[in-house]
Amino acid sequence: MSARDRTTRSPQPGGVDRGRGETSTARIVERVRAIPRGFVRTYGDIDPHAPRLVGHVLAAIHDLPWHRVVRADGRLPKGAEQRERLLREGVPMRGERVDLREARLPTGADPAQRKRESR
């Protein structure tokens, strides 16, 4: 595989998303920051094509509301600390998981995504 082939595959952290002219990291940061208190999003909600990249960005950038991002089944990847923060924001739980039926931010509620769709 040539270097050119590697650069046109899936976006790397900070890589340019050629279709939108912005970096994948910037798009993820914008979507995470748009999650309001009391709501959550899943990794796949934030970037359906690169949920692992979302985790990488959350680990690398420390001023994001990381606790509002959960697994697709509502489990908490960061355990007790994440649970405590979500409970303080009023996020409903079902046992050890977030009640996604109540707490998941609807896709249409993402102001950053709506702005791009209107172009």
Ranking 28-32, 52-56, 97-101, 115-119 by mean pLDDT, the lowest is 115-119
Mean confidence (pLDDT) of the chain: 82
Q: Which fold has domain 11-117?
A: Arc Repressor Mutant, subunit A (1.10.10)
Per the rule left: phi > 0, alpha: psi between -120 and 50, beta: everything else, 16 is beta
In the numeric block, which tokens belong to residue 87? Answer: 């409970």
Per-residue model confidence as pLDDT tens digits over 81-94 = 999 999 999 999 99
Specify which residues 101 forms β-bridges with. Answer: none
The model's pTM = 0.75
Contact 69, 80 (CB under 8 A): no
Give the model's confidence band at 106: pLDDT under 50 very low, under 70 low, under 90 confident, else very high.
confident
Residue 7 clears pLDDT 80, i.e. is over it: no
Residue 10 clears pLDDT 50, i.e. is over it: no
Q: Which residues neighbour 114 within 8 Å (Cβ) at sequence distance 6 or greater?
A: 108
What are the CA-CA distances from residue 73 to residues 6, 41, 48, 61 (Å)?
A: 32, 11, 15, 24
Query: Which of 97, 100, 113, 107 has the alpha carbon at shortest distance from 40?
Result: 100
Per-residue model confidence as pLDDT tens digits over 12-49 = 445 544 455 469 999 999 999 999 999 999 999 999 99
Residue 116 clears pLDDT 60, i.e. is over it: no
Domain ranges of the chain: 11-117
What per-residue confidence (pLDDT) applies to 35? 97
